[in-house]
Amino acid sequence: MANATILQPDIEFIRQIKAAGGDSLKKCYQCATCSVVCNLASENHAFPRKQMVLTQWGLKDQLLADPSLWMCHQCNDCSTYCPREAKPGDVFAALRSFSFKHFSFPSFMGKALANKAALPALFLVPMLIIFAVLLSSSSGNFGYLFHFTGEVDYAIPFPHGMLDAIFVTGNILVFFFIAFSLLRFWKGLKSNDPDAKGPGFIPAVIATFTELGTHKKFNQCESEKSRYLGHMLMFYGFIGALTATALNFLFTTIIKWMGSPWYIPSPVEFPNPIKLFGIAGGVAMLIGGWLLIRLRMSGDDDAGKSDYHDWLFLIVITSVALTGMLAWILRIIEIPILAYFDYYAHLVLVFFLLWYAPYSKFGHMFYRTLALIYAKSNGIDKPRKL
């Protein structure tokens, strides 16, 4: 007698995927049109048909360990052509959002970031920490903040030393939390049994970073090409702004501390190349954010559904760029009351973006990178011969 396979569906998992945008899941009748039209599905690892049925069956562990989830760029070609109006692109997005919660360390943070009701408390933490900086630098005397004209110096209410200490400590902590979360994810990926041989780890790392850097896969999708430009601008804008911040920290803090003559005595001013770099990054992020928000607001079926994770990440990262640019403009035109309020909001948003990165959609860049490295090193994502 043949051995029977007993499936143990996770009903709560199915409910959560449906609630997170995968509500069309049950419409799928396994015709496989989606796997045929998906330009990103690989030769030996077609998706998303198989993952649709695995999700219907609630096979959570098998799905979350599947690198295909991260090889998908939610172009929604599959959803466009599905004869049953099931939306595999949205189901994949819901599965990816579930991954942030599932692999997160500490796990309560993953649950908090996935829960709308926890949002005020999540914002309250950075608001209180940054307010404590303001309180200690001002000794309770806030009068100088409420002027409508005059010079703006952010270092008075928000001293660099205090901010650096908070952000550097926090970022080190976040780095370890990300590493723990990704270790869990990597173990899951390795539970797969790849049926093909790949080029090995180092070539896979090089190929992954080349693919991410060029956004090549975004361009292979048919239905929704406008995400390519928006995502590209956001991606490089963020890298530019982050690099400018790091260089600013290097020249004004580390080099000063070392007593080097290269120390720049004031925050890097326009038209200093570092400042120009930061401004270019901020502008690119703003344009990219606006393009992506406009696309999601269009309600166009090709754009796919936007869940809570999508909106939270997009609004926070675009607001970081907006408040950062405003902080620069308001300092130049010298409106202290608006400048200080805006800078406070900017610091709170930066804190939110970076410190909650492993648990929000921001985490997708770590998970996708790792999944692509795994897929490439094991020969899972060989391009399909058409």
Helix/strand/coil (H/E/C) assignment for every residue in the chain: CCCCCCCCCCHHHHHHHHHHHHCCHHHCCCCCHHHHHCCCCECCECCCHHHHHHHHCCCHHHHHCCCHHHHCCCCCHHHHHCCCCCCHHHHHHHHHHHHHHHHCCCHHHHHHHCCHHHHHHHHHHHHHHHHHHHHHHHCCCCHHHHCCCCCCCCCCCCCHHHHHHHHHHHHHHHHHHHHHHHHHHHHHHHCCCCCCCCCCHHHHHHHHHHHHHHCHHHHHCCCCCHHHHHHHHHHHHHHHHHHHHHHHHHHHHHHHHCCCCCCCCCCCCCCCHHHHHHHHHHHHHHHHHHHHHHHHHCCCHHHCCCCHHHHHHHHHHHHHHHHHHHHHHHHHHCCHHHHHHHHHHHHHHHHHHHHCHHHCHHHHHHHHHHHHHHHHHCCCCCECCC
Q: Report if residue 142 touches ligand SF4, rule: CB under 6 A.
A: no
Q: Which one, 60 or 217, has the nearer CB to ligand SF4?
A: 217
Q: Which of 21, 58, 67, 88 binds ligand SF4 (CB under 6 A)?
A: 88
Segment contacting ligand SF4 by CB under 6 A, of 80-88, 118-126, 142-150, 236-244: 80-88
Q: Report if residue 383 touches ligand SF4, rule: CB under 6 A.
A: no
Q: Which one, 22 or 358, has the nearer CB to ligand SF4?
A: 22
Q: Report if residue 70 touches ligand SF4, rule: CB under 6 A.
A: no
Question: Closest separation between CB of residue 240 and ligand SF4, Å?
Answer: 27
* Contact track, ligand SF4, 158-197, x by CB under 6 A: ----------------------------------------
**Contact of 90 with 301, CB cutoff 8 Å:** no
Question: Closest separation between CB of residue 26 and ligand SF4, Å?
Answer: 10
Residues numbered 24-53 forming contacts with ligand SF4, rule: CB under 6 A: 28-34, 38, 40, 47-49, 52
Question: Closest separation between CB of residue 34 and ligand SF4, Å?
Answer: 3
Q: What are phi and psi of 199, to 5 degrees?
A: -80, -10
Q: Report if residue 89 touches ligand SF4, rule: CB under 6 A.
A: yes
Q: Which one, 110 or 230, has the nearer CB to ligand SF4?
A: 230
Question: Closest separation between CB of residue 223 and ligand SF4, Å?
Answer: 8
Q: Report if residue 74 touches ligand SF4, rule: CB under 6 A.
A: yes
Question: Closest separation between CB of residue 268 and ligand SF4, Å?
Answer: 41
Segment contacting ligand SF4 by CB under 6 A, of 75-83, 183-191, 332-340, 353-361: 75-83
Residues numbered 200-229 forming contacts with ligand SF4, rule: CB under 6 A: 221
Q: Report if residue 78 touches ligand SF4, rule: CB under 6 A.
A: yes
Question: Closest separation between CB of residue 281 and ligand SF4, Å?
Answer: 28
**Contact of 349 with 285, CB cutoff 8 Å:** no
Residues numbered 354-373 forming contacts with ligand SF4, rule: CB under 6 A: none
Binding site for ligand SF4 (CB under 6 A): 28-34, 38, 40, 47-49, 52, 72-78, 82, 84, 86, 88-89, 92, 221
